[in-house]
Structure 1
Amino acid sequence: MSESSWASSIGVRKSMQANTGRDTKPELALRRAVHALGLRYYVNRRPIKAVRRTADLLFPKLKLAVFLDGCFWHGCPEHHTVAKTNAPFWAEKVATNRRRDADTNERLAAQGWTVIRIWEHEPVAEAAARIAETITAMRGTSSHR
């Protein structure tokens, strides 16, 4: 590896480059489940245009933003694993992500948004039901539409 690369090996570099920022398997599964409940949403949109934070699912009329967080990248208390190679770099990366997540929650709440955070390991049906229940409560009705 070149000295300027952040990756500890060619294999690590290829693995990290293969990670996509959107349309991951957990995201697609959640979107299918939420759609199957009759809910319609925007994908990968900024709740607040001036703030560079993108929600995975967005319900703008309700001011509901849903984020699907990866266990490694966002430091899941149940499943986060500590990197063995280049540990200080990855620990700071995860800590930065967690601080940004908290800041995002605060900024959105200050603008009247409701934020739902879902861990990638959560059962899809349960996560979709939580979104639907939140929408039902926000609408003040028993309908999911």
Structure 2
Amino acid sequence: MNRIARWALLALLVSAPLSAQNTAAIRPMVAPTNINAVQIDYKQQWEKEREKNQQLRSENANLQSQLAEWTRKGGSLVHAYCEAPTVSVNSAGARNDCAASGYGCEPVSGLCRTVARSSMDCAPGFLMDVDHCVPQPR
């Protein structure tokens, strides 16, 4: 049988109407009769969610306490920044006037400088002498 004949036979078989013998095997879909097989205990589920909510609230309170401890003055997450060229401030609110020691604020760390590499590292009215800042002569 050549290829065209095979395709024609296949098309005839696929498109042929179902015979009476084939329709007897097809049964309509029926909904399950045992609808109560899956019962949800809503009260138990609610209690479980309530316990989980209480646990999350407790965990949240512990984390807030830990964060408050870290960010208090002297805590490990307190960050310093330069509020002005000669004033260092940290996120806990503490201030340090760097000019009192003759230095400027170091912008990367946010802390007062302790050594000078140029006179630009010194506060106004101070000059670099070797590696530290000294008052300008009058």
Same fold (TM over 0.5): no
Q: Which structure is larger by alpha-carbon Rg, 1 or 2?
A: 2
Give the structure, 1 or 2, with the largest relative contact order (CA under 8 Å, sep 6 or more): 1
Band of TM-score, shorter chain: under 0.3
